[in-house]
Amino acid sequence: TTPTKESKVDVLIVGAGPAGYMAALWFARLGIKTKIIDKRSTQIFTGQADGLQPRVLEVFETFGFVDRAIKEVAVGYEACFYEPDENGLIRRVDKLPEGVPGISRFNGSVIHQGRIETWLSDAISEFSNGTLNVERPYLPQSLEIEAADAPTPSEYPVKVVLKKLPDDNASPEQFGHKVQNGLYRQFEGDQQNPVPGAESGDDLETVHAKYVLGCDGAHSWVRKQLGIEHKGETTDYVWGVLDIVPVTDFPDIRKRCSIHSKDGGSIMVIPREDGIVRFYIQLREGDHIATVDPAAEPTTTGEKKPATRVDRTKLTAEHILATAQKIMHPYSLEVAEMHWFTAYQIGQRVATAFQKDQRVFIAGDACHTHSPKAGQGMNVSMMDTFNLAWKLAYVVKGLAKPSILATYESERLTVAQDLIAYDLKLSRLFSSKPGEISTDEFRRVIDQGSAFTTGCTVNYQTSLLIDKPAAAEDNVTPYYSPLATKLAIGMRLPDTKLVMQSDARPWYLNQRLPSTGQFRVLVFMGDYAQTPALKAQMEAIGAYLAKPANSLSRLRADGVVQTMLIHASPQASVEWDDFPLVFRPRDERGVMDYWLVMADTPSRHEVTGNAYETYGIEKGVGAVVVVRPDGYVAKVVEPTVEGVRGVWDWLSQFVVGLTPAEV
Ligand code: FAD
């Protein structure tokens, strides 16, 4: 059948889960013509992932909706560990802070995935003036990438045929249970179960796209079209998940708890929004876990099949609850409200590549799957497209060379591999019996993993978009420039509180660096009022940036670069007119921008004035710090004309139409 409809888009996103929504958010923000489709007829409303790591909350702040999260989420502050005592009854053996105190302004938080998708979707609507919405239910039928050496290269080299599904065919099977559950994995309309009925050209649409993003989850159709392997194994460990409002005498129910019982298995307790608590419960054979014939289902990748499997059609919330009650004994556990449940088998897999021809990319669960216990799936998935989409936007707008796109795979594949390695360790420990591992070892792994699970320790390596010396490369150790000895190049800019020069209002720096797609050149001019040499350098930089012929001023006009000045002289005793006009620009009406000069000094109202100390920048020397549109520190140079020219040279490697500085 020939499709009757055709459309052209810059980017087609297949799949509207957290990864797809985050990509759409960037594209809406940056004005990229996007189409996003999903095979389900509605978004999800309960269950699934629930953990938000501090780094993702920082990112939400840059898109302007973190306050919605703060109002609604449950926040983790304390973690308890339970072990069997000499009588075999569980008792608390330790109480530790949850996460890493001080690593971020935000603590790890929890709320169900549906709410998070709602915030993302509302923000997309707002940024796109209501023009970008998820189109449902659509299923892709075919994907073709034009050969790189095509005689007449097309501007839209990826062709995807989509099929509109009937609405009632696209609701996930709930296996007849009354309670919403996640026991489905596919439904009528999935590729494995083609929709029955005659096909008409009216149901089909050919989309011509510059780029395609496969954000279509663990069983990614896009990944399969690209022939990318998803390497790893499924283990025999099976876990149940219950989202309930509990009735219990367990004293730590509003804290995160890891409970190892003597014979019943393990539980993880995660307090949630609205009095809900999520329980991750280890299920054993007999708990409706069936032994399967490994030969019964062929494997596509040739890896070992697990020997057991959840019988999804028989398992009920009551079965999972009964196991939980056994593990929690002697404490009671009953249910006032049941919101959602599921069961899953732990498997750890990573895709061997995240793209094909730098035209079709995969992100999120399509690239990496693992157990949900470290609360990482949704977070890492969103951070994948947070990393990729601004780069695509730059290329689509003709602002950057396509060579920057290779940094997506190099940066995010490493994160995925680290995640899988951590999850493997954590899952084994969690699923083991007491005695098989020591409590100390268990807590050590959790402790080591705490920083990683905040999402704040991701360290991108040298590339076109991260400039650190080759000597700094061991792929693990953070690299600090001598000019900013606590600010790691390749890591996200840690937050700090400053005072706005113009009106003395205290601000967190992250609040002043919204995701607008700009590179920020932060000029740390030190205590220029006390240091005449710095004052002269500040004026020279101002004059350099102001030259009309200077490409940096052109870049600022293009919205690629925003320059800001952060000095360390007392805010109240220096004058507004001290600062070069490039940091106090006027718009076409003559109205001045008052928000580009900040002071790192004590405020009379709030605790401020630790930025130079936090970043390891000397107040008598200063530094220039370049921050990427996604908040990662890309480069550090000295605060001189020479230094700023170095930034310009660096940008000219990937910004279209720039040649190295002559001035
Ligand atoms: P997904 O959220 O899976 O989104 C993929 C989207 O693509 C879906 O909306 C899907 O309908 C759509 N799609 C798939 N195939 C196609 C296609 N061919 N065409 C069009 N659209 C398509 N994580 C936790 O941390 N804790 C949990 O308890 C937890 N439970 C989960 C339970 C279930 C049932 C599932 C599916 C996932 C669970 N996860 C959990 C994992 C977490 O939800 C994922 O890590 C996260 O959602 C990944 O985001 P994503 O956008 O990559 O993929």
SS3 category, 430? helix
Q: Is the pLDDT of residue 314 over 80?
A: no
Query: Is 219 in the same domain as 125?
Result: yes
Q: Of residues 38 and 198, which shows the higher confidence score?
A: 38
How many domains in the chain? Answer: 2
Alpha carbon of 301 to ligand 1 centroid (Å): 21
Highest mean pLDDT among 35-39, 346-350, 647-651: 35-39
For β-strands 74-75 and 134-135, DSSP reports them as unpaired
Predicted confidence band of residue 480 (pLDDT cuts 50, 70, 90): very high
Please count the helices (runs of H) and the strands (runs of E) in the chain: 13, 30
10 is catalytic: no
Amino acid at position 503, single letter: D
Show the domain range for 503.
Answer: 470-651
pLDDT of residue 166: 85
Summarised one tens digit per residue, pLDDT across range 555-576 is 877 789 999 999 999 999 999 9
Query: Is 509 in the same domain as 555?
Result: yes
pLDDT of residue 433: 66
pLDDT of residue 506: 97
Is residue 586 included in any domain, yes or no?
Answer: yes
pLDDT of residue 237: 74
Summarised one tens digit per residue, pLDDT across range 594-612 is 999 999 999 999 999 999 9
Alpha carbon of 217 to ligand 1 centroid (Å): 5
Is residue 389 included in any domain, yes or no?
Answer: yes
CA distance 474 to 462: 10
pLDDT of residue 288: 56
Query: Is 291 in the same domain as 421?
Result: yes
pLDDT of residue 236: 65
> ∠ CA(481), CA(487), CA(493), 5° rounding?
135
Q: Which residues neighbour 15 within 8 Å (Cβ) at sequence distance 6 or greater? A: 37, 38, 214, 215, 216, 217, 220, 222, 364, 366
280 is catalytic: yes
Is residue 520 included in any domain, yes or no?
Answer: yes
End-to-end CA distance of the chain: 61
Whether ipTM exceeds 0.85: yes
Query: Is 528 in the same domain as 429?
Result: no
SS3 category, 551? helix
Q: Of 398, 422, 453, which residue is a domain's last?
A: 453
Q: Is the pLDDT of residue 91 over 70?
A: yes
Q: Which residues, judged by CB distance below 6 Å to any ligand atom, belong to the binding site of ligand 1?
A: 14-20, 37-40, 48-51, 113, 139-140, 182, 215-217, 221, 241, 342, 364-366, 372, 375, 377-378, 381
Given 280, 408, 480, 528, the catalytic residue:
280
Q: For the residues of 32-92, what is the DSSP string, one character each?
A: --EEEE-SSSS---S-S--EE-HHHHHHHHHTT-HHHHHHH-EE--EEEEEEE-TTS-EEE
**Tokens standing for 54?**
């501090």
77 is catalytic: no
Summarised one tens digit per residue, pLDDT across range 375-430 is 788 999 999 999 999 999 999 999 999 999 999 999 999 999 999 888 888 877 77
Predicted confidence band of residue 188 (pLDDT cuts 50, 70, 90): very low
Helix axes 532-546, 641-651, angle to 10 degrees: 40
Query: Is 352 in the same domain as 492?
Result: no
CA distance 283 to 205: 45
SS3 category, 632? strand
Given 10, 18, 40, 50, the catalytic residue:
50
> Mean of the pLDDT values across residues 485-511?
97
- CATH code of the domain in which 304 resides: 3.50.50.60
Alpha carbon of 389 to ligand 1 centroid (Å): 19
pLDDT of residue 168: 64
Is residue 465 included in any domain, yes or no?
Answer: no
Alpha carbon of 49 to ligand 1 centroid (Å): 8
Query: Is 175 in the same domain as 210?
Result: yes
Q: Of 418, 453, 488, which residue is a domain's last?
A: 453
Is residue 464 included in any domain, yes or no?
Answer: no
Query: Is 344 in the same domain as 240?
Result: yes
pLDDT of residue 118: 95
Query: Is 143 in the same domain as 230?
Result: yes
Ligand 1 atom 53: residue of nearest CA: 217
Best mutation site among 110, 179, 220, 365 for ligand 1 pocket (most ligand atoms within 8 Å of CB): 365
Query: Is 172 in the same domain as 284?
Result: yes
156 is catalytic: no
Alpha carbon of 264 to ligand 1 centroid (Å): 30
Query: Is 416 in the same domain as 486?
Result: no
Best mutation site among 21, 113, 387 for ligand 1 pocket (most ligand atoms within 8 Å of CB): 113
Q: Of residues 658 and 118, which shows the higher confidence score?
A: 118
Query: Is 238 in the same domain as 196?
Result: yes
Alpha carbon of 138 to ligand 1 centroid (Å): 16
Ligand 1 atom 23: residue of nearest CA: 49
**Tokens standing for 365?**
């669960």
Q: Of residues 227 and 239, which shows the higher confidence score?
A: 227
Query: Is 446 in the same domain as 551?
Result: no
Q: How far is CA 182 from CA 47, 195, 286, 327, in A?
A: 7, 22, 21, 23
